[in-house]
Amino acid sequence: MKSLFLAAALALAAVSCKEDPNPVAPAVNRPATLSATEEALATPKEIIICDQKNARIIMVDVANGNAITWEWKANASYAMIHTTAQAWFSNLSEAKLVYNGNYILATASGGGVALINVSSKKAIWFDYAGGNTHSAELLPNGNIVTASSTGGYLKIFVTDSYINDASDQTGPIAFPDVHNVVWDHARQQLYAAGKNILRVYSYNNSCRSPALTLKKTWTMPQGNAHDLFPVHGSTTDLWLTNSSYIYKFNVVTGAFTLQKTLSAVKSVTSGPSGYATILARATGAGGETWRTDQIIDINNALVYKNTALGLYKARWRLVNLFSYPSGDSFHECTH
């Protein structure tokens, strides 16, 4: 009987010494549920940044160690922008999240405008607006309108991803020193501001013959308008900055409500509960007077700093339901 037990023990030992072709990792003692703090740390909270110094757009996750989670450069092979056009994307000036968060609409002071697929990083459409392009906006039929401060004009492009910079475009729509442009989905109208004027336009929604019609003009309390962007969660208010102040502009009443006295704010963006209202404010860091290497909140607290950057604008990676319908997806009227 003893020999039988010995044989069985040896057989068992032999089996246990064989390598498991699919080893299972040793169990780790983990709590069944994460604490609120752990969940908050695990949830990305990303800022989209125009890093002019390094000729790129990046996303930084400020909830997880300030990791750079995404990068785009116009001269990278994935962008598929031809060599001549790459120079248009010097000094990136805008990066808006569009089409339900799946694309970025970007502009640059070099005159370029591009619609970038976030996943592939391909610029599925790009063209040249010129005139120190400061911003752009999607129109309901997929066409794109740009704002150029030098020369002072808006311009509408008949977006055609098959031919990119051979796409049709309107002539300049004069607007002195215009720096921004925002679509209002609920009211089907466009806002833009330059100097001390904020204008409201209607859009004819024509694919091949697009046009804007001036509806109303508001006079700002001060001049030198710069950023214009929806207040997150609001159906009526836009952030508006100029040389020395930050306002909320009510698109229904036309009221400009002072929020902060602060100079050189290039962009302002807010979010839901738990998100600070963040500012990109020029400090001269990053190689040019209009750049900075940090993002602050509206109370001047530091949100993010990286001395290797020379950034211009920063926006939370959040879907914008003021400008676009829920679940919006890429479309162009040309195809």
pLDDT of residue 38: 52
pLDDT of residue 41: 57
**Residue that is written with structure tokens 């030098």 in the block:** 150
Tokens of 217: 């003009």
In angstroms, rounded to a whole number, what is the distance separating the alpha carbons of residues 46 and 278?
Answer: 12
The whole-model pTM stands at 0.88
23 pLDDT higher than 70: no
Which tens digits make up the pLDDT trace of 283-329?
999 999 999 999 999 999 999 999 999 999 999 999 999 999 999 99
> Residue length, the chain?
335
Of 119, 197, 180, the C-alpha closest to 146 is 180
Average pLDDT over the chain reads 91
In angstroms, rounded to a whole number, what is the distance separating the alpha carbons of residues 202 and 157?
Answer: 16
pLDDT of residue 277: 98
Is residue 113 within 8 Å of residue 129, measured between CB atoms?
yes
Is residue 128 within 8 Å of residue 112, measured between CB atoms?
yes
Mean pLDDT of 259-269: 98
The CATH number, out of the four listed (3.30.830.10, 3.40.50.2300, 3.40.50.150, 2.130.10.10), of the domain defined by the range 51-316: 2.130.10.10
115 pLDDT higher than 90: yes
pLDDT of residue 299: 97
CA distances from 21 to 18, 24, 26, 58, 178 (A): 9, 10, 15, 41, 65
7 pLDDT higher than 80: no
Phi, psi dihedrals of residue 144, rounded to the nearest 5° = -130, 135
> Among the listed ranges 17-26, 172-181, 189-198, 260-269, which one has the minimum average pLDDT value?
17-26
pLDDT of residue 2: 39
Which tens digits make up the pLDDT trace of 180-223?
999 999 999 999 999 999 999 999 999 999 999 999 999 999 99
Is residue 73 within 8 Å of residue 62, measured between CB atoms?
no
Is residue 62 within 8 Å of residue 304, measured between CB atoms?
yes
Q: Which three-class secondary structure string do you get for the chain?
A: CHHHHHHHHHHHHHHHCCCCCCCCCCCCCCCCCCCHHHHHHHCCCEEEEEECCCCEEEEEECCCCCEEEEEECCCCHHHCCCHHHHHHHCCEEEEEEECCCCEEEEEECCCEEEEEECCCCCEEEEEECCCCEEEEEECCCCCEEEEECCCCEEEEECCCCCCHHHCCECCCEECCCECCCEEECCCCEEEEEECCEEEEEEECCCCCCCCEEEEEEEECCCCCCCCEEECCCCCCEEEEECCCEEEEEECCCCCEEEEEECCCEEEEECCCCCCCCEEEECCCCCCCCCCECEEEECCCCEEEECCCCCEEEEEECCCCCCCCCCCCCCCCCCC
Residue spans per domain, the chain: 51-316
Is residue 229 within 8 Å of residue 267, measured between CB atoms?
yes
Mean pLDDT of 243-269: 98
9 pLDDT higher than 60: no
How far out from the chain centre does Cα 137 lie? 11
